[in-house]
């Protein structure tokens, strides 16, 4: 055994000494392909996954991906790159107190929203309509996150991430409200593929992570966005702090800092030495009311949907344009020059034209998307 193997073995032994009995062990990471590991590879499996996500092109594009508020000229409004970092930090804090694998938590958290298309949930909704019309099922950003990391990145070769990482990304659905999550421990890559197919057919299909770490990230996703979205909405004068439901603020507080602290503390207290990750009943109900408030007063607020119709028309136009370019083999099109150039033949053989267009558009940043549209059709910035 060389020195680097010795170091890795020591790290695995250290994990065994301090991780909870129900935490994921790095040495148990499962990949689709088991590469011949070079002698210089000393990183543990989930640490390597986090590095691969961080160095992916899709992660780089987070910087210009809208979280909730698109077409807003305000440097203090949350973008997706900040959101995933907040999820990672919050989840690692919880994981540390519960004795879980922080490397796996980080890998899942950093990769969980990579599949989001331009313009946040507005873009996801219209892209899903176009995908259904094209006969390829619903578009779900969590499915697309796995698609990018597993099938699109590295010119179609993917990053060969561990099953535990991909499962956590697929099952992260932070919009679903759960008081308690108990891992579905025994999954395989066949399970992952079946759940992807099931979710594409039925977006309402409920998925549960296979690890405690995946469960922590799923609850942390909500913890990270719920108060942050409130602060952004207040900053844009969409709501006032006094509008927040008192039944929720009495337990959770009325600022992002207080909300995050109280939710994290409750998760740790409720989940400590338990085979699940959970909120207490009272805090869960307060959070559920606050999520409903956000949904009604922020996410459905007509003031942030002023350009919704324009965004829909542009998605439809670009989808049809690129589909036509593929059918006519128009190699001057950006879908060839910016996306398919040097793409692995295995990707081309495994994907229909509609799926290729989906992958191209979903990977766009907001600004790149707009640059593909005629200038006279581009929406203006929103005013509040």
Confirm whether 38 is domain-assigned. no
* Number of CB atoms found within 10 A of residue 128's CB: 19
Cβ atoms of 142 and 173 within 8 Å: the answer is yes
Of 108, 106, 110, the C-alpha closest to 92 is 106
Helix (H) or strand (E) holding 180: strand 180-181
Q: Give the burial string for 28-62 (b: 16+ CB within 10 Å, else e).
A: ebebeeeeeeeeeebbbbbbbbbbbbeebebbebb
Confirm whether 222 is domain-assigned. yes
Task: Render 28-77 in DSSP notation, one character per residue.
Answer: G--BSS-----TT--S-HHHHHHHHHHTSHHHHGGGG-BSS--S---TTS
Q: For the chain, how many structural domains are there in total? A: 1
Residues (pLDDT < 50) of the chain are: none
Query: Rounded to 5 degrees, what angle do the CA atoms 5, 6, 11 make?
Result: 95
Task: Render 91-120 in DSSP notation, one character per residue.
Answer: HHHHHHHHT--HHHHHHHHHHTTTT--TTH
Of 73, 136, 132, 86, the C-alpha closest to 112 is 86
Confirm whether 160 is domain-assigned. yes
Range of the domain at 279: 45-384
Instruction: Give the contacts of 11 (CB within 8 A, at least 6 positions apart).
Output: 26, 44
Instruction: Specify the pLDDT at position 12.
Output: 83
Confirm whether 13 is domain-assigned. no
Instruction: Specify the pLDDT at position 13.
Output: 83
**How far is residue 165's CA from residue 47's CA, in Å, rounded to a whole number?**
10
Instruction: Specify the pLDDT at position 38.
Output: 53
Domain with residue 52: its CATH number is 1.10.3210.10
Confirm whether 349 is domain-assigned. yes
Confirm whether 180 is domain-assigned. yes
Instruction: Specify the pLDDT at position 37.
Output: 59
């Amino acid at each position: 055994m060389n020195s680097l193997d010795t170091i890795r073995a020591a790290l695995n032994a250290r994990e065994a000494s301090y991780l909870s009995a129900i935490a994921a062990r790095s040495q148990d990471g499962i990949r689709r392909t088991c590469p011949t590991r070079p002698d210089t590879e000393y990183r543990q499996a989930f640490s390597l996954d986090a590095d691969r996500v961080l160095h992916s092109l899709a992660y780089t594009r987070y910087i210009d991906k809208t979280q909730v508020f698109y077409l807003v000229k305000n440097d203090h409004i949350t973008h997706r790159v900040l959101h995933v970092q907040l999820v990672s930090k919050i989840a690692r804090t919880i994981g540390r107190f519960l004795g879980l694998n922080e490397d796996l938590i980080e890998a899942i958290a950093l990769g969980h929203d990579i599949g989001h298309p331009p313009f946040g949930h507005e873009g996801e909704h219209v892209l899903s309509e176009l995908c259904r019309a094209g006969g390829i099922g619903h578009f779900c950003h969590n499915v697309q996150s796995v698609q990018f990391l597993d099938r699109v990145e590295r010119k179609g070769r993917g990053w060969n991430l561990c099953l535990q990482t991909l499962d956590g990304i697929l099952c992260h659905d932070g919009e679903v409200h759960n008081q308690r999550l108990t891992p579905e421990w025994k999954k395989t890559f066949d399970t992952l593929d079946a759940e992807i197919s099931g979710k594409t057919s039925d977006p309402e299909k409920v998925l549960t992570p296979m690890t405690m770490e995946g469960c922590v990230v799923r609850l942390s996703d909500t913890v990270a966005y719920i108060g942050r979205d409130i602060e952004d909405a207040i900053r844009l004068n969409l709501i006032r702090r006094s509008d927040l439901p008192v039944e929720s603020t009495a337990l959770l507080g009325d600022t992002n800092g207080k909300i995050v602290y109280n939710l994290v503390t409750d998760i740790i207290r409720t989940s400590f030495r338990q085979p699940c990750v959970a909120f207490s009943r009272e805090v869960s109900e307060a959070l559920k009311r606050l999520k409903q408030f956000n949904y009604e007063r922020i996410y459905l607020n007509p003031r942030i949907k002023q350009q919704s119709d324009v965004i829909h028309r542009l998605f439809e136009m670009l989808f049809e344009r690129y589909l036509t370019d593929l059918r006519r083999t128009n190699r001057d099109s950006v879908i060839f020059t910016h996306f398919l150039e040097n793409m692995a033949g295995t990707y081309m053989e495994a994907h229909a034209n509609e799926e290729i267009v989906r992958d191209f558009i979903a990977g766009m940043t907001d600004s790149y998307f707009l640059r593909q549209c005629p200038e006279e059709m581009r929406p203006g910035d929103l005013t509040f």
